[in-house]
């Protein structure tokens, strides 16, 4: 009987050791998977916030440029030629400064992606009129430049709308 007790005790101990090893291995795998899931969740949250901030910056600068575009016809109608020139050149400088910021923001969106939003940001940049040259010509009295600028700004609004729609879809999809 002592022999059987020894074998039963050894078998029970071996089973307990094996069960303990299997359990600890399972717990280690579960902990690893949980850590990986948490890391991925944090990475996606950071990516979403980075993209949202980049998209918001582009929209902010695009709207600021649009507001300046709306002021151009009023400045062009200024009766005093010197006042007209001064106002057009002032607006030109403001647009140039905001455009420089917009360009930096577009480059961040191109970096952050995704591709369809990056394409829309690049299209918005391309749809931005050649304002500096045209406003300089307007300030110098070129009436054709005003018509050309008006025509070029018409492409800007749909490009801005397209960017906003794509950015919105991309943020919701994350």
What's the confidence (pLDDT) of residue 14? 81
Mean pLDDT across 126-133 = 83
Between 11 and 45, the higher pLDDT residue: 45
pTM for the model stands at: 0.77
pLDDT in tens, 61-112: 999 999 998 999 898 888 898 999 999 999 999 999 999 999 999 999 999 8
What are the structural domains, with CATH classification, of the chain? 48-173 (1.20.120)
- Report d(CA 124, CA 21) in Å as an integer: 60
Length of the chain: 174
Q: Which of 170, 169, 72, 164 is nearest to 124 (CA)?
A: 164
**With 70 as the cut, is the pLDDT of residue 156 above it?**
yes
What's the confidence (pLDDT) of residue 158? 93
How is 68-118 classified by DSSP, letter by letter? HHHHHHHHHT-SSHHHHHHHHHHHHHHHHHHHHHHHHHHHHHHHH--HHHH
């Amino acid at each position: 009987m002592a022999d059987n007790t020894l074998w039963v005790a050894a078998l029970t101990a071996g089973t307990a050791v094996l069960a303990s090893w299997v359990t600890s291995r399972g717990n280690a795998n579960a902990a690893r998977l949980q850590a990986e899931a948490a890391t991925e969740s944090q990475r996606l949250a950071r990516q979403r916030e980075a993209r949202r901030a980049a998209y918001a910056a582009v929209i902010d600068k695009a709207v600021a440029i649009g507001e300046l575009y709306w002021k151009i016809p009023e400045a062009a109608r200024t009766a005093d030629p010197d006042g007209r020139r001064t106002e057009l050149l002032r607006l030109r400088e403001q647009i140039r400064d905001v455009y420089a910021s917009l360009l930096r923001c577009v480059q961040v969106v191109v970096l952050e992606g995704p591709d369809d939003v990056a394409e829309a940001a690049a299209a918005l940049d391309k749809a931005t009129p050649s304002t500096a040259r045209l406003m300089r010509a307007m300030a110098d009295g070129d009436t054709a430049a005003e018509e050309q600028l008006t025509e070029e700004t018409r492409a800007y609004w749909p490009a801005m709308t397209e960017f906003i729609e794509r950015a919105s879809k991309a943020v919701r999809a994350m």
